[in-house]
Amino acid sequence: MPVKNIHALCVLTILFLFFSTNSPAQIKNTNYTIQWKKVEDLVNKGLTKSALEEVSKIYEAAKKSKNDPQIIRALIYQVNLKQNIEEEQKLFHH
């Protein structure tokens, strides 16, 4: 796993732990569990572009419901997935 991915995973873990306290936001977060599982499955299958599309859907839903923790998580995932796509494209074009 590249260092950038490990760093991003650490940041995601910290943010997740920070926002997973007992609060109204936690109730909202449970609505996203299935969507994030789908993203994880797509990433594990190497379907980065499809995962990015799903994250974009999560981001839009979170923005609409003003769910800041999910917005932040989606933004971080978007950056990470876009970097992965760029790296994949560089590998295949060389």
**pLDDT tens-digit series, residues 34-90:** 999 999 999 999 999 999 999 999 999 999 999 999 999 999 999 999 999 998 888
Of 9, 5, 61, 69, the C-alpha closest to 35 is: 61
Q: How many helices (H) and strands (E) does the chain have?
A: 5, 0
- For residue 2, is pLDDT > 70? no
Q: What angle do CA 67, 18, 34 make, to 5 degrees?
A: 50
Report the pLDDT value the prediction gives residue 69, as an integer from 0 to 100: 94
Report the pLDDT value the prediction gives residue 51, as an integer from 0 to 100: 97
User: Coil, strand or helix: which one is 10?
Assistant: helix
Tokens for 49? 């572009």
Residue 79: how many other CB atoms lie within 10 Å? 13
Residue 51: how many other CB atoms lie within 10 Å? 24
